[in-house]
Structures are given as structure tokens and as C-alpha cells.
Amino acid sequence: MNGAPVQVTATIGSDGSVSGTLLNPDGSKYGVFWGRPSGARSMQGSFDLNGRVGDWTVPLRVPVPK
């Protein structure tokens, strides 16, 4: 991260939940993330980046699947 390219693979569930993996440029695992819709206009979740854990919230620009 910090400006370095990172590959992201993710899965979007039928309920709008997301989970995925971030990879370093050499293909090694950098971290994981997961989240789910939080109301109609945002998502929230958590991440673990090589032991650095935290939470995130983002606004949604598209409708959440019902």
C-alpha cells in the first residue's frame, strides 16, 4: 500500500456483503477485509492488514440488493 500497486480479489454476496483479500505486488497476502450494508446508503466492515486491524465505513452510490 502507501502508493504501491495492490491486487484485490473480492466476493460480493447476494445480500450485498463483501469479503476479499489484498495481495502485495509479489503475490504474497497483505491482508483481508469484509463488510456488509449498513442501511440503504452505506457499508461498514473491518480489515486486517498484517495484524493492523480496524473498521471502515463508506457511502454507497448504488442501491443495496434486497
Single pTM value for the model: 0.76
Digit-coded pLDDT (tens) for 28-66: 999 999 999 998 889 999 999 999 999 999 998 876 666
The whole-angstrom distance between residue 38's C-alpha and the CA centroid of its chain comes to 14
Cell of 28: 504474497
Spatial distance between the Cα atoms of 62 and 12, rounded to a whole number of angstroms: 14
Spatial distance between the Cα atoms of 38 and 23, rounded to a whole number of angstroms: 26
Place of cell 457511502: 59
Place of cell 445480500: 15
Model confidence at 1: pLDDT above 70: no
